[in-house]
Amino acid sequence: MPILETYGLTRRFGTLTAVNNLTMTVEAGEVFGLLGPNGAGKSTAIKMLTTLLPPTSGDAQIAGYSVTRRAGEVRRLIGYVPQMISADGTLSGYENLLIFAKLYDIPRRERDQRVRDALAFMDLTDAADKLVRTYSGGMIRRLEIAQSLLHRPRVLFLDEPTVGLDPGARRLVWEHVQQLRENYGTTIFLTTHLMDEADALCDRVAIMHLGNVAATGTPAALKASIGGDGATLDDVFIHYVGSTLDSGGAYRDTRRARRTARRLG
Interaction with another protein in 92-121: which residues (CB under 8 A)? Answer: 95, 99-100, 102-105
Which one of 1-9, 23-31, 74-82, 253-261 is the stretch in contact with another protein (CB under 8 A)? Answer: 74-82
50 touching another protein, by CB under 8 A? yes
The CB-of-259 to another protein minimum distance in angstroms stands at: 14
Q: Which range in 32-40, 70-78, 196-204, 241-249 contacts another protein by CB under 8 A?
A: 70-78
Using CB under 8 A, which of the segments 90-98, 113-121, 170-178, 201-209 binds another protein? 90-98
Count of residues binding another protein (CB under 8 A)?
38
Report if residue 131 touches another protein, rule: CB under 8 A: yes
In this structure, the chain runs to a length of: 265
Q: What is the 3-state secondary structure (H, E, C) of the chain?
A: CEEEEEEEEEEEECCEEEEEEEEEEEECCCEEEEECCCCCCHHHHHHHHCCCCCCCEEEEEECCEECCCCHHHHHHHEEEECCCCCCCCCCEHHHHHHHHHHHCCCCHHHHHHHHHHHHHHCCCHHHCCCEHHHCCHHHHHHHHHHHHHCCCCCEEEEECCCCCCCHHHHHHHHHHHHHHHHHHCCEEEEEECCHHHHHHHCCEEEEEECCEEEEEECHHHHHHHCCCCCCCHHHHHHHHHCCCCCCCCHHHHHHHHHHHHHHHC
In the complex with another protein, the residue whose CB is nearer, 154 or 170, is: 154
> CA-CA distance, 109 to 61, in Å (whole number)?
33
Least Cβ distance, residue 177 to another protein (angstroms): 18
Q: Which residue in 83, 191, 192, 260 binds another protein (CB under 8 A)?
A: 83
Are 186 and 32 a contacting pair, CB within 8 Å?
no
Does 59 contact another protein by CB under 8 A? no
Which CB sits closer to another protein, 144 or 233? 144
* Closer by beta carbon to another protein, 54 or else 228: 54
Q: Which of 8, 29, 54, 185 binds another protein (CB under 8 A)?
A: 54
**Residue 86 touching another protein (CB under 8 A):** yes
Residues that bind another protein (CB under 8 A): 47, 50-54, 68-73, 75-76, 78, 80-88, 90-91, 95, 99-100, 102-105, 131, 144, 147-148, 265
